[in-house]
Amino acid sequence: MKIRTKRVYEPPSDDDGIRVLVDRLWPRGLSKEKARIDLWAKALAPSSSLRKRFHQDQDYDAFQRDYRDEIDPEELDRLMGQVEGEPVVTLLFASKNKWENNAQVLKQLMQEKS
């Protein structure tokens, strides 16, 4: 399984495979039709307090550590089961920072499990 990350505001493409939103909040100004979300893994999104702390501090190393600690292994296993057999999984996020966000951390965790 190939795991990709992509901003949810970027247009969907045929090579996205199964599209999984990994944010707690629905992206502002984006309709469900335009987003083309297959799964919403809200339970795997960072808590509101962690998300706010990261936006204030911008300490990505601390965010990664705290987010990994926060993730429920059963929820991660559930997502892995839902996407099992899919050739491509695209984790969607709203953050403007494409390289330091929760989708990148979740991608690493999923790759470690597969």
pTM above 0.85, yes or no: yes
Which tens digits make up the pLDDT trace of 72-113? 999 999 999 999 999 999 999 999 999 999 999 999 999 998
E-strand ranges in the chain read 2-7, 18-21, 39-40, 88-93
Q: Pick the residue with more confidence: 11 or 59?
A: 11
Provide the domain limits for residue 64: 2-113
Query: Distance (Å, rounded) from C-alpha 23 to C-alpha 44?
Result: 8
33/23 Cα distance (integer angstroms): 17
Asked whether residue 57 carries a pLDDT value surpassing 80, the answer given is: no
Confidence class for position 56, pLDDT limits 50, 70, 90:
confident
**Residue 8 CB burial class (10 angstroms; 0-12, 13-18, ≥19):** buried
Helix axis angle for 60-70 and 48-57, nearest 10°, is 170
Counting the structural domains of the chain, the total is 1
